[in-house]
Structure 1
Amino acid sequence: MTKIMIKDLLLLLFFCCSFGVTVYAQGKDPFQKYLNDSPPKIIKELGNETHDGVSVKKVVFHSRDVFIDEKTVPSTIFAVIARPDKPGKYPGLLVLHGGGGTAETEKAIAWAKLGYITLALDEPGITNPEKVQHSDGHWKSFSYGKSRFTAKPDITTSTIYDGVVVGIQGFHLLATQPDVVKEKIGVVGISWGGYLTTMLTGLLGDKIRASFSVFGSGFYDYGTSFKKEIEKMSPEEKKIWLQYLDAGRRISSSRTPYFLAAATNDAFFFPPAVMETVKAKRGSANQLFAPNENHKISVPGGNDRKSTDTPGWLVMERTWFDYWLKGSGKPFPEIRNAVVNGKSPSGESKVQFSVKTSTPVTQALVWYSNSADEWTKRNWVSVRAELNLDGKYIATIPVSEGIKYDWFASISDDRPVTVSSLIQPIP
């Protein structure tokens, strides 16, 4: 090692120690010791129940010990495991609740009725500590939403660190169930649970067969309501938090199918963060933008509560997992080659895109908005896209002189499923 390198290292250590930030040795990921396929130890069984052909087992497992205030505080987590009564091998699904929620018992049962072995659990840093009955740990000493965005003295002090550890352990517990097909396990979650879905997708890699995140992205510093919390940290603390706890920076390790359902006007996860996450994903990635929606998705395949066989937050979740985990049905459509293709004689912008699909397209739209407006306050206007003889969808956007616009394409099929292109500017 040269004198210059030694000097730089000493400066880095001095800087970090000044801010009270722990520097991890190169290659020492703080989650590495949990990525060993070992299930957590169940320390308490809370009984079994039966619900319309589904067996439900409730347990508490040990997550990790934290030494604080000169004593060891164990973290213990409540989990629900639901499975079809009929003996056999089934795909698995980890179901992750959103911010302020608790273990999604009802959703776990609903998925199990459709032929999945499911696990739902309480998520530290994401659940409201006042709502959980059977989970405990040092993280419960913080009120909801507190101590997420910290890396002092190290990243393990963030309550979100505990949430990620518990997510990994929940996955391993699910994978070691004797009637689970280990090569066919999926993860689904909403909002902060969607973040955790994205995070686990990156950390667990090809152990996860397919993931579906509702709203939850990474790249918190690119555009989320949490960006202001990120900016409160010191430069080095921020760097460490983003390196280890930002889901977007983790997802590049994954090559398995991933879907991110988002809303254009979402108050928590803005389109720039969503798109950066999708672009960081290697391998199969697809997405949806619900226009003029905030933490809600009303497009075909979205929050349709009229459907009696909808186990998740969106109707299209079942279609996604039935295809990737059961091999039934057909894949989601994909929008490709979405580009601006010149202007009409009257000055309007022409756009075009192609669609890869094995199902009939029932609706094809192009949405546009004023790019000067804030993401959460935009008004997205639609124009119909027409299929031409070359197999491309064409639309004309009636732009106004002196105004800059963003646009994206959106198509729906007859199942229903809706997908979108990424959002891009009109030059």
Structure 2
Amino acid sequence: MIAKHPRGTGRLVGMVVGAVACACLLVPAATALALDDQAGRDHLRVTPEMLTPPAARPADGFHAEGVEAIFYDGLPWKGKPTRVFAWVGMPSRAAGEKVPGIVLVHGGGGTAFDAWVRLWTGRGYAAIAMDTCGTVPRGTYANWERHEAGGPPGNRFEDSEAPAADQWPYHAVADVVLAHSLLRSRPEVDPGRIGITGISWGGYLTCIASGIDDRFRFAVPVYGCGFLGEDSVWKDEIAKLGPRGRRWLDLWDPSHYLPGGRMPKLWVTGTNDFAYPMDSLRKSCRSAGGRSTLCIRPRMPHGHGGAGENPEEIRAFADAVVRGGKPLVEITGQSRRGDKVRVEYRGDAAVVKAELLSTKDDGRWTDRRWEAAGAAVDPAAHAATATLPPGATTYFLNLHDDRGLLVSSEHVEVRGTSESAPVSGLP
């Protein structure tokens, strides 16, 4: 647990987020999402209209094994109605049984992926994966076919002077919340046991959607986080826009929404993620409402498929929240005295291995070289300890349980002779 104080590679091709709104007035309720003036900034909020399941119909001409292709009604874009493509799947279940559910949000260059839905139906979940860029899954990665009733086709920071309700983040978040409402309406689904996960820009959207839609029971952003103006692959691009860039950050940076999401969160990422660096991730964890758990792998690849979809920690985390499964280990504190570092933990799963990850580098997070070394586990004390190598500038510890699942401590930048990071949000 963590203290409370996307141009993609592989299959994630960069979508440049562009969405700064210049309207300060409340967006009409008919558009279902509204903007609130809070502390001098405008923020999205869900209105009652968003809680109503949207009208849906079959998407003719799209077929995939074990899933259903649909269009559902989105919000008006530039005064015209929109439709959103989605795949929906249901798991095998006993007669009358209600199953948990999950909303799946794709990343940059992606679309609705039927294989991702089947991954989760195979785990016993109802699942919905929607397209957030006005396209359908026909074509090639980052070049999907647009349909005639699609919403904004992606993200351009330079469009920041357009009205809020015509910007991509506005519509993409609405698409996610509407998909949630639609999944909740299915008679096979238990509406009190639905979570959300998203990859890269989908993780960004997960941060916002979970902050404004308190019906979600858990949230798992993969790579994506907030504080994009402070450190991200888009930092310089945003800065060059001057007031327009600052306006975009005021409206659309997830840091404004994360405190509102009180559900538990699992943050999955790698040490060298090119888009969402570890410092912005740590700030996001600390600002988020509810409890946060970290899962940081050395040099984790950035993408859909096995890298971003398949980490077993995501399934275990979801199962613990909505299916009574065994939770991930919880880190309850961490400290350093000189070159000696320590983390405390608790949980039903046994910690069988601990590992110290450290770097002697400074500068860009994506360029840092990380080294792994063994750490000692004391099961009686529920603690793991390690010795920092000379010259280490930053470190964290990974704990591996008897299921092969890992959790991570916050990274610590070595300054002075000692630090401590008590973990809040614990009973």
Shift of 1:49: 6.7
Query: Which residue number in structure 2 is paired with residue 406 of structure 1?
Result: 394
Aligned: 1:338 with 2:334: yes
- What is the rounded CA distance, in whole Å, between the counterparts of 2:132 and 2:178 in structure 1? 11
Aligned to 2:319: 322
Distance 1:155 1:148 in 2: 13
2:326 alignment partner, SS class: coil
Instruction: Report what 1:121 is aligned to.
Output: 130
Residue identity opposite 2:252 in structure 1: L
Matches within 5 A, 1:230-269: 230-235=238-243, 237-269=244-276
Q: Matched residue pairs, number?
A: 376
- Give the Cα–Cα distance (whole angstroms) in 1 for the partners of residues 234 and 276 of structure 2: 9
1:75-154 to structure 2, matched below 5 A, reads 75-86=82-93, 87=95, 88-124=97-133, 130-132=143-145, 134=147, 136-140=149-153, 146-148=155-157, 150-154=159-163
> Quick check: which one's helix share is greater?
1
- Aligned-residue offset at 1:118: 0.8
For residue 46 of structure 1, what is the aligned residue in structure 2?
A: 60
1:222 has 2:230 as partner = yes
After TM superposition, the structure 1 stretch with the greater mean CA deviation from structure 2, 105-114 or 380-389, is 380-389
Inter-partner Cα distance in structure 2 for 1:85 and 1:336: 38
Give the structure 2 partner of residue 395 of structure 1.
Answer: 386
What is the CA deviation profile of residues 187-210 of structure 1, one whole-angstrom value per residue up to 9, with x for unaligned ones?
Answer: 0111111111121111112x1011
Match of 2:71 among 45, 49, 60: 60
1:422 alignment counterpart: 410
Greater relative contact order (Cα 8 A, min sep 6): structure 1 or 2? 2
Structure 1 pair 229–34 and aligned structure 2 pair: CA distance change class (3 A): farther
Shift of 1:276: 0.8
Partner Cα separation in structure 1 for residue 208 and residue 374 of structure 2: 36
Q: Give the 3 Å change call, closer, same or farther, for CA 20–121 of structure 1 in structure 2.
A: closer
Q: 1:126 to 1:243 in 2, by over 3 A?
A: farther
Q: Identify the residue that residue 181 of structure 1 maps to in structure 2.
A: 190
2:192 and 2:142 map into 1 onto residues whose CA distance is 34
8 Å CA contact 2:100, 2:322 repeated in 1 = yes
- Are the equivalent residues in 2 in contact too, given 1:96–1:193 (CA < 8 A)? yes
Unaligned runs of 5+ in 2: 1-19, 27-36, 416-427
Q: 2 CA distance for matches of 1:35 and 1:412?
A: 44
Partners of 1:148 and 1:209 in 2: how far apart?
32
Q: 1:313 is aligned with what amino acid? A: N
Relative to structure 1, the CA distance from residue 129 to residue 158 in structure 2 (aligned partners, 3 Å threshold; closer, same or farther) is farther
Partner of 2:346: 356
Is contact 1:35–1:204 with CA below 8 Å preserved after alignment? no
Instruction: Give the greater-gyration-radius structure (CA).
Output: 1
Cα distance in 2 for partners of 1:337, 1:293 equals 25
Superposed, 1:298-313 pairs within 5 Å as 303=306, 312-313=309-310
Distance 1:146 1:255 in 2: 28
Please say if residues 149 and 158 of structure 1, whose CA atoms lie closer than 8 Å, have aligned partners that are also in contact: no
Kept after mapping to 1: 8 A contact 2:151/2:171: no
What is the rounded CA distance, in whole Å, between the counterparts of 1:375 and 1:129 in structure 2?
Answer: 26
Contact kept, 8 Å, 1:92 with 1:116, in 2: the verdict is yes
- How far did residue 30 of structure 1 move? 4.4
**8 Å contact kept, 1:155–1:241:** no
Aligned to 2:13: none
For residue 168 of structure 1, report the CA deviation from its aligned partner.
1.1
Structure 1, unaligned runs of 5 or more = 1-18, 305-310, 343-348
Q: What is the percent sequence identity of the aligned residues?
A: 25
SS at match of 1:74: coil
Distance apart, 1:48 and its partner CA:
9.3
Contact 1:364 1:384 in 2 (8 A): yes
> What is the CA distance between 1:174 and its match in structure 2?
0.9
Measure the CA separation in 2 of the matches of 1:90 and 1:165: 24
Q: Give the letter for the 1:229 counterpart.
A: E
Looking at structure 2, the residues matched to 118 and 391 of structure 1 have their Cα atoms a distance apart, in angstroms, of 37
> What secondary structure does 2:88 align onto?
strand
Equivalent position of 2:210 in the other structure: 201
With normalisation by structure 1, the TM-score equals 0.80
Secondary structure, counterpart of 2:80 in structure 1: strand
Shift of 1:333: 0.8
Paired residue secondary structure (1:323)? helix
Quote the Cα distance in structure 1 between the aligned partners of 2:185 and 2:357: 45
Q: Structure 1 residues 396, 230: closer, same or farther in 2, change over 3 A?
A: same
Counterpart in the other structure of 2:25: 24
Cα deviation per residue 1:360-403 (whole Å; 9 max; x = unaligned)?
Answer: 21220111112423211111112221135644322111214xxx
CA distance in 1, matches of 2:217, 2:166: 31
Note if contact 2:206-2:219 (Cα within 8 Å) is conserved in structure 1. yes
8 A contact 2:356–2:373 mirrored in 1: yes
Query: Aligned in 2, Cα 1:178/1:264: closer, same or farther, shift over 3 Å?
Result: same
Bigger shift: residues 376-385 or 121-130? 121-130
RMSD (Å), alpha carbons: 2.9
Paired with 2:80 and 2:292, the residues of 1 have a C-alpha distance of 40
Q: In structure 1, what residue type is equivalent to 2:283?
A: E
